[in-house]
Amino acid sequence: MSKPATETLSVVVERDIPHPPEKIWRALTQPHLIEEWLMKNDFKAVVDHRFNLRADWGAVDCQVLAVEPHKTLSYTWGAYGLQSVVTWTLTATSTGTHLRMEQSGFRPDQQQFYQGAKDGWQRFFGNLEQTLVRLD
């Protein structure tokens, strides 16, 4: 088996975007802009700040871990007992920015977990799918 298990336990999405890092940083950190592409929120780019991302299918509990303006933003992502970490990395390129998102860490919150993670996950995915369908 050549594939490390860690690969299946994290999600990476990356893209070259024809806009400068400063502008993308604003979209990643200003609450009214975050709402336009991700979810309603009370985000602040301050380490340790706790915030929620809210959608009609539920809420995600988050806490800011790292802020390096125009370069790195990292926060915890807790939903239905699954605790992960979302890290954004912005790298300036000749045509704009290479934007990378990694969701990793996979630390199920034990307590919430034992309390019916199955139902929670099924609901989470069901709603997520509905949301994705609406986006198409």
Residues that bind other proteins (CB under 8 A): 1, 3-6, 8-11, 13, 15, 17, 19-20, 23-24, 26-27, 33, 36-38, 81-82, 99, 101, 103, 106-108, 110, 113-114, 117-118, 121, 125, 128-129, 132, 135
CB-wise, 2 or 94, nearer to other proteins? 2
Instruction: Return all residues near 73 (Cβ < 8 A) that are at least 6 apart.
Output: 25, 28, 29, 45, 64, 66, 67, 87, 88
Give the β-pairing of 11-17 and 96-108.
Answer: antiparallel
CB-wise, 20 or 63, nearer to other proteins? 20
Taking the complex as a whole, the smallest distance from the CB of residue 101 to other proteins amounts, in Å, to: 6
Taking the complex as a whole, the smallest distance from the CB of residue 133 to other proteins amounts, in Å, to: 10
CB-wise, 62 or 99, nearer to other proteins? 99
SS3 state at 113: helix
What string of DSSP letters covers 2-65? -S-GGGGG-EEEEEEESS-HHHHHHHHH-HHHHHHHS-EE---SSTT-EEEEEETTEEEEEEEE
Taking the complex as a whole, the smallest distance from the CB of residue 47 to other proteins amounts, in Å, to: 23
Taking the complex as a whole, the smallest distance from the CB of residue 5 to other proteins amounts, in Å, to: 4
Taking the complex as a whole, the smallest distance from the CB of residue 32 to other proteins amounts, in Å, to: 11
Closest Cα to residue 104, out of 135, 132, 83? 83
CB-wise, 24 or 48, nearer to other proteins? 24
